[in-house]
Structure 1
Amino acid sequence: MGKRCLTLVLALLLALSLSACGSRPDPTDPTSSGGGSSSPPIPAPLDTTYWTAVRHESYNPSFGRTEVSAMPTEKWWADLYLNEDGTALFREVLGFGYASYLINAEWWLGADNALRLTGEDLDGSFISMDGRKEKDGSVMLETPYGNRFYFEPAERPASGGELCMADLEGTWRMSAGEVEGDEFSPEEMHMASLLDIERWWSDDEGGYTLHADYHNARLLDTDAPEYETEKNLLTEKLDEPLMYGLPNELWSARLYAEDSETEYYVTLTDRNTLYLRQYYELDNAPAARTAIYTREESLLPETLTLALADEPDKSLMFYWRDPPAEVAQPLAAIPMTALEKGGQNKLLLVGRWYETDIQFCTGRAEQNEDGTLGEWITDTVLYEGTIRINEPQWFSLTIPEETAKLCLFMKRPWDESWFTWPITDQDPFFVSGDTFLTEAE
Structure 2
Amino acid sequence: MFPRTIHALRALYARRAISPSEALAEFLAVIERKEPTVKAWTQLHIEEAKAHASRLDQMMSRVAELPPLFGVPYGAKDIFHAAGWPTEAGSRVIAGEVSSEDATVVRLLRAQQAILLGKTTTTEFANWGGPPATTNAWNPAHTPGGSSSGSAAAVGCGMVPFALGTQTAGSLSRPAAFNGVTVLKPTYGRISKHGVIPAALSLDHVGAFTRDIADTVLFYNAVAGHDPLDPATIPEPPTPLVLRATGPLTIGVPDTAYFRDAEADVLAQFEASLKTFADAGCRVVEVPTPKGFEESVRAHAVVMQAEVAYYHRRYFPERAELYNPYLREFIREGLTITAERYIDAQETRRRYRKAFAAAFADVDVLATPAAPSTAPRGLAQTGSPAFNLPFSNLGVPTLALPNGFASNGLPTGLQLVAPLGEEQRLIDAGYLYQSLTDWHLRVPE
Global fold match (TM > 0.5): no
Q: Which has the higher helix share?
A: 2
Larger Rg: 1
TM range (shorter): under 0.3
